[in-house]
Amino acid sequence: MKTRTIGDVTVSAIGLGGMPLSIEGRPDEAQAIATIHAALEQGITLIDTADAYHQPGTHEIGHNESLIARALESFHGDTADVLVATKGGHLRPEAGAWAQNGDPAYLKEAARASAQRLGVETIGLYQFHRPDPAVPYADSVGALAELLDEGVIRMAGISNATVDQIREANEVLGGRLVSVQNQYSPAFRSSREELVLCDEMGIAFLPWSPLGGITNAADLGSKHAVFAEIANARRITPQVLTLAWELHASELVIPIPGSTRPQTIMNSATAATIKLSVDEVQRLDAAADAA
């Protein structure tokens, strides 16, 4: 498995996104564990989660973190190199609603609860999930700085952040910001600016929902038809091609596609070994820009 770097930690170039294993429509526990195990067997060493990945309500906060902890515990191989990246600051009190809480005291408490669910003393990577308009951004990120200093978390990241917020967070963290996780896909290119900034700053960029817009790429008249064309010529799927295209955007990009079954993550993992030509990347960029 090809690797990339988050902070000072080497991780697989493709990570596993944990969300679909715990929200509405999730598979049963056996299938969820099998999916995580298949990812680990394939050499994936980055798993992204959040305390808010659970079914709506307050009865099972941290479902995904606990699930991942169980999967790692029951895995037959070595998991010492696996980086579990979790997040705090988002809440799912009811169906259809994602609320924010960026209160520093809350975040510090949430991080400790996450560590407990993950069964670790120190969280490998903790990300502030989404800016809370009710709390100054610097205050929320300041909680992560304190968590770093207190040894509750080893690395700090942010998610759903703008260019200005990335700069601000890195300042608040005293240059210790290691990752930014934003939505990024052929259909969602507006965070291209943040990707470019992360590349300049040497900060890992984790695209979430990296396959947006690709399901229908093969449809007649699709804006993303070029993805289907090139994929067909290479005899790979548009999904795998899309992840490879994202990996070509910068050495700091690490897509984290979600998966609810072994095959999907195994397919996704193959993207790490694909080399695209300059011409292919240009055609894909143009198609994504035009869409």
Partner 1 sequence: MSPHENPRVTFPDGRTAPALGLGTWELGDDPRRRDDELAALREGLDLGMTLVDTAEMYGHGASEELVADAVAGRRDEVFLVSKVLPSNASRRGTVDACHASLARLRTDRLDLYLLHWRGGHPLEDTVEAMEELVAEGAIGGWGVSNFDVDDLEDLDRATGASSAPQTDQVLYNLVRRGPEHDLLPRLRESRTPLMAYSPVDHGELLDHPVVVSVAADLGVTPAQLVVAWVLRLAPDVLLAVKAGSVDHVREDAAALSVDIDDQAFAQLERAFPAPTGPVPLEVR
| Smallest separation, CB 34 to partner 1 (Å) | 4
If one asks whether residue 3 binds partner 1 (CB under 8 A), the answer comes out as no
| Smallest separation, CB 152 to partner 1 (Å) | 32
Task: Calculate the CA 21 to chain-centre distance.
Answer: 14
If one asks whether residue 234 binds partner 1 (CB under 8 A), the answer comes out as yes
Residues 6+ apart with CB under 8 A from 45: 1, 3, 10, 11, 12, 81, 82, 83
If one asks whether residue 34 binds partner 1 (CB under 8 A), the answer comes out as yes
Q: Do 290 and 47 contact (CB within 8 A), yes or no?
A: no
- SS3 of residue 142 by DSSP: helix
**Buried b / exposed e along 269-282 (16+ C-beta atoms within 10 A):** bbbbebebeeebee
In whole angstroms, how large is the CA radius of gyration of the chain?
18
- SS3 of residue 248 by DSSP: coil
Pick between residue 219 and residue 251 the one whose CB is nearest to partner 1. 219
Q: Could you give the string, one character per residue 73-102, with x where binding to partner 1 holds by CB under 8 A and - elsewhere?
A: --xxx-------------------------
Among 12, 42, 127, 191, binds partner 1 (CB under 8 A): 42
If one asks whether residue 225 binds partner 1 (CB under 8 A), the answer comes out as no
Phi, psi dihedral angles at 101 (to 5 degrees)? -145, 105
Number of residues that make up the chain: 291
User: How many residues bind to partner 1 according to rule CB under 8 A?
Assistant: 29
SS3 content of the chain, % helix, strand, coil (to 5): 40, 20, 40
If one asks whether residue 37 binds partner 1 (CB under 8 A), the answer comes out as yes
Residues 6+ apart with CB under 8 A from 171: none
Among 13, 33, 115, 214, binds partner 1 (CB under 8 A): 33
Angle of helix 137-150 versus helix 104-118 axis, rounded to 10: 40
Pick between residue 101 and residue 264 the one whose CB is nearest to partner 1. 264
| Whether residue 53 lies in the annotated active site | yes
| Smallest separation, CB 76 to partner 1 (Å) | 3
Q: Which stretch binds partner 1 (CB under 8 A): 30-38, 49-57, 165-173, 176-184?
A: 30-38
Q: Could you give the string, one character per residue 185-224, with x where binding to partner 1 holds by CB under 8 A and - elsewhere?
A: ---------------------------------x------
Pick between residue 192 and residue 234 the one whose CB is nearest to partner 1. 234
Q: Dihedral, CA atoms, 36, 11, 100, 259, nearest 10 degrees?
A: -30
Count CB neighbours of 254 within 10 A. 28
Among 113, 163, 225, 266, binds partner 1 (CB under 8 A): 266
Q: Do 60 and 99 contact (CB within 8 A), yes or no?
A: no
If one asks whether residue 12 binds partner 1 (CB under 8 A), the answer comes out as no
Pick between residue 88 and residue 255 the one whose CB is nearest to partner 1. 255
If one asks whether residue 270 binds partner 1 (CB under 8 A), the answer comes out as yes
Active-site hit among 53, 126, 137, 184: 53
Site residues, partner 1 (CB under 8 A)? 30, 33-34, 37-38, 41-42, 75-77, 218, 232-237, 240, 244, 261-263, 266-267, 270, 273-275, 277
Q: Which residues are catalytic?
A: 53
